Amino acid sequence: MSENLLIEPAYLIAAVLFILGIRDLSSAETARRGNLLASIGMFLAIVGTLLHADIIGYQWIIVGMIIGSIVGAVMAIFMPMTAMPERIAIVNGLGGAASFLVGISEYYRQSAEFFLNHQFKMGVVGFEVLLGGLTFTGSMIAFFKLKGLISGTPVTYQGQNAVNIAWLVLMLAIIGYLIIVPTTPVLFYVMMVMAVMFGVMFVLPIGGADMPVVIAMLNAYSGLAAAATGFVLSNNVLIIAGALDGSSGFFLSILMCRAMNRSIGNVLFGAVGQSVAAPGISGGGDDGQPQSISVTEAAGMLLGAQSVIIVPGYGMAAAGAHFAVRELADLLKSRGTSVKYAIHPVAGRMPGHMNVLLADANVPYDELVEMDDVNPEFPETDVALVMGANDICNPVARDSAGTPIDGMPIIDADKAKSVIVIKRSMSPGFAGIPNKLFVAPNTYMLFGDGKLMAEQLAETLNL
């Protein structure tokens, strides 16, 4: 009884801190505080859980906490911010695996007679295992794609969508049957294996261009699995935390789809990311040849500019160029140049990727301007400096119908007086189509590694 007097207040405070933390994560200025509040809430939730009278021994709990703390510390200290999308994928996967294992354990622990009298719990256990299993393997495939261990190109075959839908319906039918007839454990374990396989089947057909939506969706599934675990264990704080995580991930997925002018169904079943182009689009030739410039010429353009808008993209993240970009921006500002950063909602490989990287480089928050707010400024901007961005500033989205990015809101970098694009080559972005910006008459290509080019530009400006 005395334990409950401590557990319930701890859970209540933790739940409030989770809500406040998510609220603060909605803004770059308050994100650090939000992360701290949520971390304190998780600490209180763990402490409250450890006070439960049902715990008969702490040995394995302590072992698990030590291992988990070491793994978490290693990831936090040694994993670079440029690898944040991969880290998020791993964390989503591990959360799904935890729910998956708890569901299996609960089903194994209870008798068929128990589930005959607790049909709701049987259903929740089924959904917990289904969501946890597909989240784990789906997140691992997302990690492999983000890491480049497997191709980011969609892996498809004839009739794949029909097979995936039928697979999902069959798993749901098995759960429905087990709710009515829980005396056939072999069906539960068949569904368990199917859930693990479904995660692979679910993510393989999704291309690299849709990784921000995939990560948000997997985060939602992980949260829903955690909420189901809360119902299974009768743990209120886990229900609240899982519901918050699941709903925020879902709404974030919707926002990401709107930012790409796509539907959830199109993202999940459209296989965007294959190297195909609509008629009339080329990477040069018909539309002109790229104008290549040297570092010295690019530095001269920047020196003569009164206003510069930097457009960061995944290439900047891959090159680890964010610190060099900030140094370059600081030099320009010291010479009286106005510098801003144009942030596209789906730039990079996860929601908020550019905000995270630039915050890591100590770029002032007020210099990060969202797409809708910064686009009207481009016609009066002297130089738009595109750092490894591709699809998010491709005029094809506005000008050519029938492409994978048709109608997607983009950064209007092409409307600046001059555009400098720092990129290794003329290769297309994740959507697999050439970028007309690269051959526009006001665009100048500075070919090379993003970090090296930014450093050389800074050195040239500093002379």
Q: Phi then psi for 93, rounded to 5 degrees?
A: -65, -45
Q: Parallel, antiparallel, or unpaired: how do β-strands 443-447 and 338-343 relate?
A: unpaired
Which position has the token pair 């209007």? Answer: 412
In the chain, the largest separation of any two C-alpha atoms, in whole Å, equals 81
| Number of alpha carbons in the 13 Å side-chain half-sphere of residue 338 | 10
User: Cβ neighbours of residue 32 under 8 Å, at least 6 residues apart?
Assistant: none
User: Cβ neighbours of residue 33 under 8 Å, at least 6 residues apart?
Assistant: 24
The catalytically annotated residue of 391, 412, 414, 449 is 391
Instruction: Let me know: does 158 contact 167? Beta carbons within 8 Å.
Output: no
Beta-bridge mates of residue 310? 341, 385
The b-or-e profile of 400-413 (16+ CB within 10 A means b, else e) is beebbbbebbbbbb
Beta-bridge mates of residue 369? 342
Type and span of the H or E element at 308: strand 307-312
CA distance 274 to 215: 19
User: Cβ neighbours of residue 151 under 8 Å, at least 6 residues apart?
Assistant: 145
CA distance 237 to 15: 6
CA distance 197 to 4: 41
Which position has the token pair 């739940």? Answer: 15
The residue among 253, 235, 228 whose CA lies nearest residue 133 is 228
The residue among 300, 316, 392 whose CA lies nearest residue 347 is 392
Instruction: Please say if 287 is a catalytic residue.
Output: no
CA distance 357 to 218: 22
Single-letter amino acid code for the residue at 96? G
H helical segments located in 79-118: 84-109, 112-117
The residue among 288, 291, 287 whose CA lies nearest residue 301 is 291
The residue among 377, 366, 385, 379 whose CA lies nearest residue 457 is 385
CA distance 367 to 414: 20
Beta strands in 103-235 (DSSP E): none
Catalytic residues: 391
